[in-house]
Amino acid sequence: MNNPTINLLTDIRRELKEGSDEKTAAQSQYYFKDEVKVYGIKMPAVGKIARSYFREIKNLSKHEIFDLCEELWRSGYIEESVIACEWTYALKKEFEPEDFTLFERWIDRYVNNWASCDTLCNHTVGTLVEKYPKKIAELKRFARSGNRWMRRAAAVTLIIPARKGLFTSDIFDIADILLMDNEDLVQKGYGWMLKAASQANQKAVFDYVIKNKKVMPRTALRYAIEKMPAELKKEAMKKD
């Protein structure tokens, strides 16, 4: 990495430190069960920094920008991962199928909390999968991973396509794989995916929940039915 790009990362980190405060850092930690690395700067300010510095790098090649993103991921700080996600998503028109391998590596190697997982997968990975639907087979592989963040990624990648009514049968396939997962953050992830799918396919999701409610964890079930009418929620929550 050349001096200008090293200097750019140094400037970003200086600005993040200068904008941080202990109260925000403590509040940020509250949302995570495991300890996370944070500067302690509010997300709107992080987004502003990301957009400001992207103007300085927008003429670099996609791969040069991805290299910078990798350095941000490597730090382990949530705020730096958010900047990496914003920069990556800004290149969505340039996404190619082979970029999926890089995004998978970031999830497997660097993601260690739900916020980084969701920020990367909801937009960047979800957009790539929507553009190249054959990659859904890779998400089903994710769902069988020993890494809980890979399993959560399998579900939350499809949130936005699910709202559009896309990939419904694949969504149920992934839910089947994750159905009895012991990790609550994975349960919440696939429950959220089903909730998103219910916005376009309410009956199909309701039928799925009813069919599986005897074994589906209550956490996932509650997420899945959250957007449904009260009478359907009551039916789904009723113990047989």
Arithmetic mean of pLDDT over the chain: 95
Nearest to 169 by CA among 208, 120, 211: 208
Residues 6+ apart with CB under 8 A from 211: none
Nearest to 95 by CA among 66, 55, 115: 66
Does residue 240 carry a pLDDT above 80?
A: no
Report residue 30's pLDDT band, with 50, 70 and 90 as the boundaries: confident
Does residue 136 carry a pLDDT above 70?
A: yes
Report residue 170's pLDDT band, with 50, 70 and 90 as the boundaries: very high
pTM of the complete model: 0.94
Both structure tokens of 35: 């300890």
Model pLDDT, residue 4: 64
Nearest to 67 by CA among 15, 6, 114: 6
Model pLDDT, residue 5: 78
pLDDT tens column, 185-227: 999 999 999 999 999 999 999 999 999 999 999 999 999 999 9
Both structure tokens of 24: 């925000």
Model pLDDT, residue 239: 80
Does residue 181 carry a pLDDT above 80?
A: yes
Nearest to 204 by CA among 231, 222, 177, 225: 225
Q: What Å distances lie between residue 36 and 4, 17, 30, 152, 229, CA to CA?
A: 29, 16, 10, 18, 37
Nearest to 19 by CA among 54, 55, 45: 45
Interval 99-119 mean pLDDT: 97
d(CA 233, CA 239): 12
Does residue 2 carry a pLDDT above 90?
A: no
H or E stretch at 4: helix 3-18
Exposure pattern of 187-203 as b/e (b: 16+ CB <10 Å)? bbbbbbbbbbbbeebee
Does residue 1 carry a pLDDT above 70?
A: no
Report residue 132's pLDDT band, with 50, 70 and 90 as the boundaries: very high
Q: Within 10 A of 175 (CB to CB), how many other CB atoms are there?
A: 24
Q: What are the backbone dihedrals phi and psi of residue 77, each rounded to the nearest 5 degrees, phi first?
A: -80, 135
